[in-house]
Amino acid sequence: MRIQNLPTQFQSAKIILQRIQQAGFEAYFVGGCVRDTLLNVPLHDVDIATSAYPQEVKQIFKKTIDTGIEHGTVTVMDHGRAYEITTFRTESTYQDFRRPDKVEFVRSLAEDLKRRDLTINALAMNLNGTVIDMFTGLSDLQNKVIRAVGNPKERYHEDALRMMRTVRFASKLDFKIEERTLAAIQTNAKLLEKIAVERIHVEWAKLMLGKNPQRGLNAFLKTKLYQFCPLFFDKEKLLQKLLELPSFTLETEEGAWTLFFFLGNFSDRRAAKLLKAWKSSNDLISTIYKTLHILRLEEEGPLSAWDEYLAGLNCLLYANEAASILGKGQSIAAITQRYMQLPIKNKHELAINGSDLIRFLGIKPGPFVGQILDQLERNVVLGELSNERKILLQAAVAVQNHLE
Ligand SMILES: Nc1ccn([C@@H]2O[C@H](COP(=O)(O)OP(=O)(O)OP(=O)(O)O)[C@@H](O)[C@H]2O)c(=O)n1
Ligand SMILES: [Mg+2]
């Protein structure tokens, strides 16, 4: 099979392949970029594999960076662009079911491809767009099948994260997982414990944001992979609930977690604990915290301008993502418009600040200044005072008397 019109990302990379070939080695586009081109979806990175050893690659090009030279990866810089070039390799030692530290460089493309995870990821493409398919990758793409390359058990023992990748791709592409592949995950699910939580987290997020998350979740549940994810051991019922929702898609990880916690009736504290166990950033944790709060408030009735102000537009939209899936969504335009109409979006937009108050009221710096400002901020957000210096200074006197 030959792809006629290669996406633009390949155009500039062609010269790199040519140069490697001129030096007497083989070079191909491999992995995700070939898969995504065949699927006609946008690609993010173009990976190149070659029979040249890293030192040989470095001799061919003027400017290179040793990105991951021990694993065979060299970055070539050409006309301001970076290309990752990896030597064909077989991963010879497998300790702990993680990607091995030691790799063995080989000269044969076939050796390289047969150690890749899934048939749809084990496709290579040459300069002319001719696809090299040694493991039914093309027919699996055609038939929408996720299948491990060769013996699935071996692939998962080489790198247990591949089990998460498998369910992630089932969701991302809305493909069916082939039976032997699925069975191998079922028997080896426990190996996931060996994998760094951060890596599992990335795959989980991609699973939730796929074309058909329920397809991935179904496999995640059935194979018991979930039992080896942090604090998910007892989440069978909750995952089942997600499966019983009408089919859905999600745009953001924040929306995904919010849906998950809301559906599972998590307290803020338990949600934060689970997110920590998943090694989430503090940013993500505090965003989910706010978003969950909004979703719960919406249960009680329309939000006040103050609630919207405190949440910020992003959290309002994340909450709406989850709400939409639960049949309670609003139009994004309406939410955005309401937010945009708030008189101010943050404290700094208030027409006066602390120093103004200290000067005008003749008071000492301290928490009292903050209290007055907080009250004025609230009044402005709620439309009770207009955000004008004169008006706010006047109102400050009344607030001061009231608080004293
Ligand atoms: N655990 C893994 C990770 C990657 N690969 C191989 O390395 C390629 C590139 O890996 P990566 O960029 O992580 O994944 P992609 O398949 O490109 O998917 P994505 O769209 O997420 O980049 C994959 O296609 C696959 O051939 C593998 O065999 N086993
Ligand atoms: Mg990739």
CATH at 60: 3.30.460.10
Residue 246 alpha carbon to ligand 2 centre in Å: 31
- Mean pLDDT, residues 28-35: 96
Question: How high is the pLDDT of residue 403?
Answer: 83
Same domain assignment for residues 331 and 262: yes
Task: Let me know whether 198 and 336 are in one domain.
Answer: no
pLDDT of residue 219: 98
Rg (CA), the chain: 27
268-286: average pLDDT = 97
The per-residue DSSP string of 162-210 comes to HHHHHHHHHHHHT-EEPHHHHHHHHHHGGGGGGS-HHHHHHHHHHHHTS
Are 366 and 390 found together in one domain?
Answer: yes
Going by the DSSP 8-state scheme, the letter that residue 247 receives in this structure is P
Looking at residue 332, which CATH number applies to its domain? Answer: 1.20.58.560
Question: Do 72 and 14 reside in the same domain of the chain?
Answer: yes
Q: Could you tell me what percent of the chain has a pLDDT over 70? A: 97
* C-alpha torsion 39→45→46→50, nearest 10: -120
Tell whether the model's pLDDT for residue 182 goes beyond 90. yes
pLDDT tens, position by position, 295-350 = 999 999 999 999 999 999 999 999 999 999 999 999 999 999 999 999 999 999 99
Q: Is pLDDT at 93 greater than 70 in this prediction? A: no
CA–centroid distance, residue 67 to ligand 1 (Å): 17
Q: What is the SS3 string spanning 254-286?
A: HHHHHHHHHHCCCCHHHHHHHHHHCCCCHHHHH
The answer on 139 and 153 residing in a single domain is no
Ligand 1 within 6 A of 158 CB? no
Higher pLDDT, 100 or 135: 135
User: Taking a C-beta distance cutoff of 8 angstroms, is the pair 259, 241 a contact?
Assistant: no
Mean pLDDT of 274-301: 97
Residue written as token pair 């101010």: 344
Q: Are residues 6 and 135 in the same domain?
A: yes
| Residue 164 pLDDT greater than 60, yes or no | yes
* Ligand 1 contact, 308 CB (< 6 A): no
Q: Which ligand is nearest to the CA of 28?
A: 1
User: Is the CB of residue 112 below 6 angstroms from any atom belonging to ligand 1?
Assistant: no
Res. 47 pLDDT band, cuts 50 70 90: very high
| Nearest in space to 299 (alpha carbons), one of 265, 333, 347 | 265
Cα 250 to Cα 310: distance, rounded to the nearest angstrom: 24
**What proportion of the chain, given as a percentage, has pLDDT over 90?**
91
Evaluate whether 31 touches 121 at the Cβ level (below 8 Å): yes
Q: How confident is the model at residue 96 (pLDDT cuts 50, 70, 90)?
A: low
CATH of the domain at 230: 1.10.110.30
pLDDT score of 92 more than 90: no
What's the rounded mean pLDDT across residues 38-59?
95
Q: Which of 214, 249, 284 is the last residue of a domain?
A: 249
| Closest residue by Cα to residue 275 from 263, 265, 260 | 260
Q: Does the structure show a pLDDT above 80 at 215? A: yes
Contacts of 234 (CB under 8 A, 6+ apart): none
Say if residue 85 is in the same domain as residue 169: no
* CB-ligand 1 contact for 152 (6 Å cutoff): no
94 pLDDT more than 80: no
Those residues with Cβ within 8 angstroms of residue 395's Cβ, 6 or more apart along the chain or in another chain: 376, 379, 385
Whether the predicted pLDDT of 100 surpasses 90: no
- Region 147-152 average pLDDT: 98
Domain end point (choices 290, 317, 342): 342
Residue 36, CA distances (Å) to 129, 136, 164, 273 in order: 13, 16, 19, 36
Domain end (from 143, 164, 181): 143
Cβ-proximal residues to 349 (8 Å cutoff; 6+ apart), any chain: 387
Structural domain boundaries enclosing 308:
251-342
pTM higher than 0.90: yes
Determine the pLDDT at residue 101.
63
Query: Are residue 257 and residue 242 in the same domain, yes or no?
Result: no
32 within ligand 1 shell (Cβ under 6 A) = yes
Confidence at 158, pLDDT banded by 50, 70, 90: very high
Per-residue pLDDT band at 5 (split at 50, 70, 90) = confident
Dist. CA 315–CA 292, nearest whole Å: 9
Give CA–CA dist 261/293, Å, rounded: 11
**Is the Cα dihedral 156, 161, 162, 164 positive or negative?**
positive
> Is 268 marked within a binding site?
no
Band (pLDDT 50/70/90 cuts) for residue 404 is: confident
Residues 6 or more apart from 185 whose CB is under 8 A from it?
A: 152, 156, 163, 166, 167, 177, 219, 223, 225
HSE-CB at 238 with a 13 A cutoff on CA atoms is 17
In the chain, how many domains are there? 4
Q: Is 116 annotated as a binding residue?
A: yes
Is the predicted ipTM greater than 0.95, yes or no?
A: yes
The residue type of 106 is V
Regarding whether 112 and 19 lie in a shared domain, the answer is yes
Structure tokens at 251: 């745009």
Same domain, 89 and 203: no
**Going by CA atoms, what residue is nearest to atom 18 of ligand 1?**
32
Beta-strand relationship, 104-105 and 47-50: unpaired
C-alpha 87: how far from chain center: 28
**Strand blocks (E) in 194-351:** none
Provide the 3-class DSSP secondary structure of residue 38. Answer: helix
The predicted structure's pLDDT at residue 127: 93
Task: Indicate if ligand 1 lies below 6 Å from the C-beta of 255.
Answer: no
Same domain? 3 vs 136: yes
Question: What's the mean pLDDT when you consider all of the chain?
Answer: 95
How remote is the CA of residue 397 from the centroid of ligand 1, in Å?
64
pLDDT bracket for residue 227 (50, 70, 90) = very high
Q: What is the pLDDT of residue 121?
A: 98
53, 136: one domain? yes
Which has the minimum average pLDDT: 91-95, 227-231, 241-245?
91-95
Residue nearest to ligand 1 atom 9, measured at CA: 31
Q: Which of 35, 111, 43 is nearest to 72 (CA)?
A: 111
Atom 6, ligand 1: residue with shortest CA distance: 116
Residue type, 112: D
Whether 271 has a pLDDT exceeding 70, the answer reads yes
**For residue 131, which of 222, 30, 210 has the smallest C-alpha distance?**
30
Report the pLDDT value the prediction gives residue 103, as an integer from 0 to 100.
Answer: 84
Beta carbon of 121 within 6 Å of any ligand 1 atom: yes
DSSP state of 340: H
Q: Is 147 annotated as a binding residue?
A: no
- The 3-state DSSP class for residue 288 equals helix
Largest Cα–Cα separation, the chain: 86
Residue 45 has what pLDDT? 87
Centre a 10 Å sphere on the Cβ of residue 299 and count the other Cβ atoms it contains.
Answer: 9
Q: What's the 121 CA to ligand 1 centre distance in angstroms?
A: 7
Q: CA torsion 49→51→55→61, rounded to 10°?
A: -60
The letter for the amino acid at 64 is T
Q: What integer pLDDT is reported at residue 151 of this predicted model?
A: 97
- Tokens at residue 121, please? 């990821």
The residues, any chain, with a CB within 8 Å of residue 82's CB and separated by 6 or more, are 65, 75, 76
